[in-house]
Amino acid sequence: MKRITTTGMGLLVLLLGTPGSAWGQGTIRVTFDGFPERAPGSTTLFSFLSESGVGVHSLGGNSTMRWSGDPLFPDNGSAYIQPRGSTDLFFSYGGSGWRFDAVSVDLALYSASSLDPVTIQFVASGYTRTIDIIATTEFTITGAVDDQGRPLFQTFYFPPEFQGMYYLSVTPTAPLWSLDNLVISPIPEPSAWALLGCGAVLLVGHWLRRLRRRE
């Protein structure tokens, strides 16, 4: 009769004890559309908002949420945000306690009044946002416009280094700009069942070693 090794038992316990959600990360798209609808072209200021577990923080000054419909501003048919130049804007997930990967984001210029390119720097950081820097990247928003001369949203993809972060920050810039459809991929934390399984494996392994010594 074949014996089951402690390693094999450990794998079995982890397979049985880990919920299926831990195997498929999935993605979350922050659209800023989950808030009370307002008239086209309307705006409101915010310092913090939350959608699908993603926190949007605007420190050092409020940012603007704008609803599409104004003839001078970007119009993708939905609401989006416009950070102010001196604002410390950053994103977190699960109350800043869960790690995530950054996938993509839609960016546009502020309005048709200025179509000069704007470069935005994003920073991925660990548990200490301003010190534990994981990676940085820059995206340049060009002057692309729709058939009515309004700035178009352009999709930018984060490089592979933007993984395992607690915070995604935007380096403050002087020009105004627009942001929508931030896509992140949460990183599953070890489940309680998986942790209990690991403990059980250690206990069984210790028990088996004691039995072998007695043989």
Domain coverage including residue 58 = 26-187
* Average pLDDT in the chain: 83
Any domain includes 203? no
Any domain includes 197? no
Any domain includes 13? no
Any domain includes 7? no
Q: Tell me, what's the pLDDT at 96?
A: 67
Any domain includes 213? no
Residue 46 contacts residue 62 (beta carbons within 8 Å): yes
- Based on the structure, what is the number of domains in the chain? 1
Range 34-51 average pLDDT? 91
Any domain includes 1? no
Please indicate whether residue 20 or residue 93 has the higher confidence score (pLDDT). 93
Q: Tell me, what's the pLDDT at 205?
A: 56
Any domain includes 204? no
Any domain includes 206? no
pTM: 0.78
pLDDT tens profile 159-200: 999 999 999 999 988 899 999 999 999 998 764 434 444 455
pLDDT tens profile 63-113: 999 999 999 999 999 999 999 878 899 999 997 679 999 999 999 999 999
Q: What is the CATH number of the domain that holds 181?
A: 2.60.120.1350
